[in-house]
Amino acid sequence: MNTNSPYITGALTLTAYQIEPLVTWSLTGFKAPMPPVVPGIVSSLLVMVVHAVGNIVVARTSKP
């Protein structure tokens, strides 16, 4: 594995069991009540994006 990649974002793991309620809710057109796991999934994805962007910035600004 390339440990110098800016896309290594740490220990974020989402399983199909965690994502399934979000997918089912979205397939209903968001008309059903929001499952309680959705805020956690969205928060995890936001943290992953921020971490990935930070890694990209550090990789581009560091000296080779």
- The answer to whether 35 touches 21, Cβ cutoff 8 Å, is yes
Q: What digits encode the pLDDT tens for the residues 1-58?
A: 445 555 555 556 777 888 889 899 999 999 999 999 889 888 888 888 888 888 889 8
* pLDDT value, residue 28: 92
Whole-prediction pTM value?
0.65
Tokens (6 digits) for 37: 């796991």
17 CB burial (10 A radius; 0-12, 13-18, 19+): exposed
